[in-house]
Amino acid sequence: MKFAALALAMMGFAIGTVFRLRMLLPILVLLLLLSILFALAGGFSFFQAVLLVVAVQAIVQSGYFAGLVARAVLAGILRE
């Protein structure tokens, strides 16, 4: 699970550095559906499924925010 979380964070970071919000939203919807399917296939309880969905969304969005910050810092450095 640690590798999955790291992969999600790296994906969010890459999206944040390259794309805008329009690209993030469809990816979040896709991840929502995939995490629900994963929870159903894994036999998770309702609480575990909700926790999984929230964790996936939070990790990707945190990575996206870090990517936005990195892009803004890099743009500021290149302007000088």
C-alpha–C-alpha distance, residues 23 and 21, integer Å: 5
pLDDT for 75 equals 87
pLDDT for 15 equals 92
Read off the pLDDT of each residue in 45-65 and give the average, rounded to a whole number: 95
Read off the pLDDT of each residue in 20-47 and give the average, rounded to a whole number: 92
pLDDT for 64 equals 95
pLDDT for 23 equals 87
Is 22's pLDDT higher than 90? no
Residues 6+ apart with CB under 8 A from 1: none
